[in-house]
Structure 1
Amino acid sequence: MTLHQGDCIKLRSGEGPFQVIGIDDDHDRCWIRQWPLDSHGCPVFEVALEQISSPKGEID
């Protein structure tokens, strides 16, 4: 799977969609936030790349 900053993804747990904010390929991690954004913003959190099912466009 190829992941890019700005992609909308879902987690293997079924949660989502989330937007990819940053990717750390060296450590197999990425930073995501809930999508669509809340009017007050959304917290960013780190997840392992293995927790991502696939980019949302590939799911729909």
Structure 2
Amino acid sequence: MTLLQGDCIRLGDDEQLYQVIGVDDRGDRCWLRRWPLARHGSPVLEMPLHHVQAHRRHRPHPPAQRH
């Protein structure tokens, strides 16, 4: 599986979605944040790429538009 910026994944049995915000194939690293974003932002997590690629990928749904 190719991991792309913007993909959303679940880690293990955690029901929380995480959005991929960066990928470094050479360094075997990627950076994730919880999705959806918290009101004041979400902390960034650095994870080994080989660990993250083993999990399911999801596409985030765009936030609902308020009128």
State the TM bucket, normalised to the shorter chain.
0.7 to 0.9
Tell me the C-alpha RMSD between the 2 structures: 1.3
Q: Which runs of 5+ in 1 are unaligned?
A: none
- 1:2 & 1:28 partners in 2: Cα distance? 13
Q: What is the alpha-carbon distance in structure 1 between the residues aligned to residue 24 and residue 44 of structure 2?
A: 14
Identity fraction in percent: 52
Q: Which has the higher strand share?
A: 1
Aligned length: 56
Match of 1:6 in 2: 6
Query: Higher Cα Rg: structure 1 or 2?
Result: 2
| 3-state SS of 2:56 partner | strand
The structure in which a higher percent of residues are helix is 1
